[in-house]
């Protein structure tokens, strides 16, 4: 399977099927654009450029692919001019995009995959030849789209629709080699610009989208992930892996999700599923691993079920996948260059923090925590000023519900953090007053400072 293909790996959550397999799950055969599908041999395109062994260039798209996914060998359309540069080899654990991965225009289309991500590499040097070299250089071989040099890929092929929870993390599809911590082909990193506070734990995230699939972004504020999507989030404390959370959309229903937390063993050689009660102070740290019900509390209040992979969260120029890169690669049904959070630096920091830490429960969907008056802290892509944001409209100057505490007068009191419910509850841990109610035992002092600074700037 070529590794230069940049398909995503994802997995959501919701009401869950939690069926632990007694043995390791069968190997998932993902047919990525640029891979040979079952039922037909692979043939390299005449004129397909070859890539250097370390993937420094993507090579040409080739002239005429050879593989039809439907009926075996048939000539494909002529390949494009290639994916440009950007197939640079990176570290075996997390990988990154090459230097010119997102050349727009025909080079993208000609990468030998149809979309041509420009040569993403997350494999070790020993396997780098099968990355940009085979996927794009050898060319035309079994790609799709304008520059793939082959028949269109079959979007129904090799989609993981099993609701079974694999018995080991190594069986979920995250790693090609868990011993070397080498990611599987098509598993790509992403970073939300407003991450959830997790008591200081270091986190890394990866996503995988099935071949040919697109994220439904017709509602830009509620991305709908395709069936077969998987996401992983790894938590480390003091440099040691403690848990990895696994999300998998296995069916089209709103509740057709598996989510499962895996606890790493002391040797970090693999991880096993935790039971429904979770694990307190896992692996001798202060980090708690959630049980399944805790995952459902947060993810279940968001109708999209997937948190952290969204228009607002990926509208940044930092590392990993972004809304711009997904759009350029043709993986969104409604492409976009991204969105800007309104307000000055102080307002953007506070509104983003509320979005990343509170909006999964406090939003306007029927799944959200219920109040008689709307209470949403979610940033919407349509808001162009602070006064148009849900946080301002539903919290500033609005009396609290379902909560009483001396001196607290509003959800957010303009100009006065001390009488603001949001600020007070963020400052508390160890009681029912605390917010968030789950997943944290330590106050995020930096996050609290952002909220207090913004509230103080709001004119009374």
Strand partners, 130: none
Does the pLDDT at position 118 exceed 80? no
- Contact of 210 with 227, CB cutoff 8 Å: yes
Lowest mean pLDDT among 13-17, 267-271, 304-308: 13-17
Three-state SS at 235: strand
Q: What single-letter DSSP state applies at residue 179?
A: T
Can you tell me the mean pLDDT for 209-235?
95
- Contact of 342 with 386, CB cutoff 8 Å: yes
Band the pLDDT of 205: cuts 50, 70, 90. very high
d(CA 103, CA 325): 10
Does the pLDDT at position 129 exceed 50? no
Please report the pLDDT score of residue 140 as a whole number. Answer: 30
Nearest to 47 by CA among 151, 152, 149: 149
Task: Quick: pLDDT tens for 26-57.
Answer: 322 222 222 222 222 222 222 233 332 233 33
In terms of pLDDT, which residue wins out, 23 or 458? 458
List the domain boundaries for the chain: 7-29+160-333, 31-157, 340-457
Please report the pLDDT score of residue 300 as a whole number. Answer: 66
Whether pTM exceeds 0.75: no
Can you tell me the mean pLDDT for 402-417?
97
Lowest mean pLDDT among 138-147, 254-263, 347-356, 451-460: 138-147
Task: Quick: pLDDT tens for 257-302.
Answer: 998 999 999 999 999 999 989 999 999 999 999 987 777 777 767 7
In terms of pLDDT, which residue wins out, 151 or 182? 182
């Amino acid at each position: 399977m070529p590794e230069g293909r940049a398909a995503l790996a994802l997995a959501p959550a919701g009401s869950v099927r939690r069926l632990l397999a007694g043995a390791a799950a069968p190997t998932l055969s993902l047919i990525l654009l640029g891979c040979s599908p079952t039922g037909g041999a692979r043939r390299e395109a005449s004129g397909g450029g070859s890539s250097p062994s370390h993937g420094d260039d993507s090579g040409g798209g080739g002239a005429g692919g050879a593989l039809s996914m439907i009926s075996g060998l048939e000539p494909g359309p002529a390949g494009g001019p290639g994916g440009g540069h950007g197939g640079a080899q990176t570290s075996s654990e997390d990988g990154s995009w090459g230097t010119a991965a997102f050349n727009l225009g025909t080079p993208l289309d000609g990468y030998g995959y149809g979309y041509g991500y420009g040569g993403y590499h997350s494999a070790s040097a020993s396997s780098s030849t099968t990355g940009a070299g085979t996927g794009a250089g050898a060319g035309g071989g079994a790609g799709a789209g304008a520059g793939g040099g082959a028949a269109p890929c079959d979007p129904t092929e090799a989609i993981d629709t099993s609701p079974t929870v694999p018995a080991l993390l190594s069986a979920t599809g995250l790693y090609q080699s868990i011993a070397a911590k080498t990611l599987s082909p098509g598993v790509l990193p992403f970073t939300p610009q407003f991450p959830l506070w997790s008591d200081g734990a270091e986190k890394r995230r990866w996503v995988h989208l099935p071949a040919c699939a697109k994220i439904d972004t017709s509602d830009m504020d509620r991305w709908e992930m395709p069936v077969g999507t998987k996401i992983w989030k790894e938590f480390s404390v003091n440099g040691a892996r403690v848990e990895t959370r696994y999300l998998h959309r296995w069916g089209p229903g709103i509740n057709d999700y598996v989510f499962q937390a895996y606890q790493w063993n002391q040797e970090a050689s693999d991880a096993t599923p935790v039971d429904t009660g979770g694990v307190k102070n896992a692996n001798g740290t202060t980090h708690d691993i959630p049980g399944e019900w805790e995952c459902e509390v947060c993810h279940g209040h968001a109708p999209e079920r997937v948190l952290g992979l969204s228009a607002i969260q990926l509208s940044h120029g930092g590392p990993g996948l972004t809304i711009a890169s997904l759009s350029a690669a043709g993986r969104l049904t409604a492409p976009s260059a991204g969105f800007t959070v309104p307000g000055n630096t102080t307002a953007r920091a506070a509104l983003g923090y509320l979005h990343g830490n509170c909006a999964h429960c406090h939003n306007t969907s029927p799944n959200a925590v219920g109040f008689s008056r709307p209470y949403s802290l979610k940033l919407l892509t349509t808001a162009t000023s602070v006064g148009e944001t849900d946080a301002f409209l539903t919290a500033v100057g609005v009396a609290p519900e379902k909560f009483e505490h001396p001196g607290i007068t509003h959800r957010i009191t303009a100009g006065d953090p001390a009488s603001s419910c949001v600020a007070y509850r963020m400052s508390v841990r160890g009681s029912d007053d605390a917010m968030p109610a789950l997943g944290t035992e330590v106050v995020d002092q930096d996050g609290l400072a952002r909220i207090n600074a913004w509230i103080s700037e709001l004119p009374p």
